[in-house]
Amino acid sequence: MKSHKIKSFLSIKGKLLIFAFCISLIPIITITTLYYFSARSNLEREILEKLKAVAESKRLHIRSLMEAGATRVKNFSSDGYIRKRFELITREKTPRRRTVEHLNRYLSKNKKELYEHIDEIILLDKHGYVISSTNENLMDTNMSSLAVFQHGIKGKYADTFIGEAHYSPHIGANCILISAPVVSRQGELIGIIINAYNLAFLNDVTTDSTGMGKTGEVYLVNRDKVMLTESRFIENAPLKEIVDTEPIRTIIQRGKDTVGIYNNYNGVPVVGVSLNIPEYGWILSSEIGKSEAFAPLRLLGMVALILGVMGIVTVTSVGLIFAISTSRPIRTLTDATQRLAGGELDHRVKINRTDEIGDLALNFNTMADELRREIYEHRRTEKALIELNENLQQEVTARKRIEGELRRQHDHLEQVTVQLTATNKELEAFCYSVSHDLRSPLRSMDGFSRAILDDYADKLDATGKNYLERICSASQRMGQLIDDLLDLSRITRVEMNKKAVNLSTLARTIVTELREKQPERKAEFSITDGLAVKGDPQLLKIVLDNLFDNAWKFTKKCPQAKIEFSSTQYNGKPTFFIRDNGVGFDMAYFDKLFNAFQRLHSALEYEGTGIGLATVQRIIHRHGGNIWAESTVGKGATFYFTLS
pLDDT digits (tens, 9 = 90+) for 280-337: 999 999 999 888 888 877 777 677 677 767 766 776 665 566 555 544 566 776 777 7
pTM for this prediction: 0.46
Quick one: average pLDDT of 486-510?
80
Domain spanning 203-293: CATH superfamily: PAS domain (3.30.450.20)
Report which of residues 574 and 45 the model is more confident about: 574
Q: Is the pLDDT of residue 112 over 50?
A: yes
The CATH number of domain 78-200, selected from 3.30.450.20, 3.40.50.1820, 3.40.50.300, 3.90.1300.10: 3.30.450.20
Q: Is the pLDDT of residue 567 over 80?
A: yes
- Overall size of the chain counted in residues: 644
- What number does CATH give the domain 495-641? 3.30.565.10
Please tell me the least confidently modeled range out of 216-225, 255-264, 291-300, 490-499. 490-499
pLDDT-based confidence at 601, cuts 50/70/90?
Answer: low
Give the Å distances, CA to CA, from 273 to 218, 260, 268. Answer: 10, 7, 15
Q: Is the pLDDT of residue 559 over 60?
A: yes
pLDDT-based confidence at 172, cuts 50/70/90?
Answer: confident
Cα–Cα distance for residue pair 540/358, rounded to 1 Å? 108
Predicted local distance difference test score (pLDDT) of residue 4: 41
Mean pLDDT of the chain: 81
Give the Å distances, CA to CA, from 235 to 56, 227, 573. Answer: 26, 12, 50
pLDDT-based confidence at 444, cuts 50/70/90?
Answer: low
Report which of residues 38 and 513 the model is more confident about: 513
Contacts (Cβ under 8 Å, ≥6 apart) of 489:
431
SS (H, E, C) 167-204: EECCCCEEEEEEEEEEECCCCCEEEEEEEEEEHHHHHH
CA 606 to chain centroid, in Å, comes to: 46
pLDDT-based confidence at 437, cuts 50/70/90?
Answer: low
Quick one: average pLDDT of 27-56?
78
Predicted local distance difference test score (pLDDT) of residue 129: 94
Please tell me the least confidently modeled range out of 128-142, 184-198, 378-392, 533-547. 378-392
**CA triple 631-634-636, angle to 5 deg:** 45
Cα–Cα distance for residue pair 220/226, rounded to 1 Å? 8
CA-based diameter of the chain, in Å? 164
Percentage of residues in the chain having pLDDT higher than 70 = 79
CA 514 to chain centroid, in Å, comes to: 49
CA distance between the termini of the chain:
114
Residue type, 637: A
Predicted local distance difference test score (pLDDT) of residue 496: 80
Predicted local distance difference test score (pLDDT) of residue 327: 46
Report which of residues 250 and 27 the model is more confident about: 250
Cα–Cα distance for residue pair 621/614, rounded to 1 Å? 11
Cα–Cα distance for residue pair 178/213, rounded to 1 Å? 35
Q: Is the pLDDT of residue 600 over 60?
A: no
Predicted local distance difference test score (pLDDT) of residue 464: 78
Where in the chain do CATH 3.30.450.20 domains reside? 78-200, 203-293
Torsion angle defined by CA atoms of residues 549, 554, 560 and 566, in that order, rounded to the nearest 10 degrees: -50
Predicted local distance difference test score (pLDDT) of residue 276: 93
Predicted local distance difference test score (pLDDT) of residue 245: 92
pLDDT digits (tens, 9 = 90+) for 507-548: 999 999 889 888 888 889 999 999 999 998 888 988 998 899
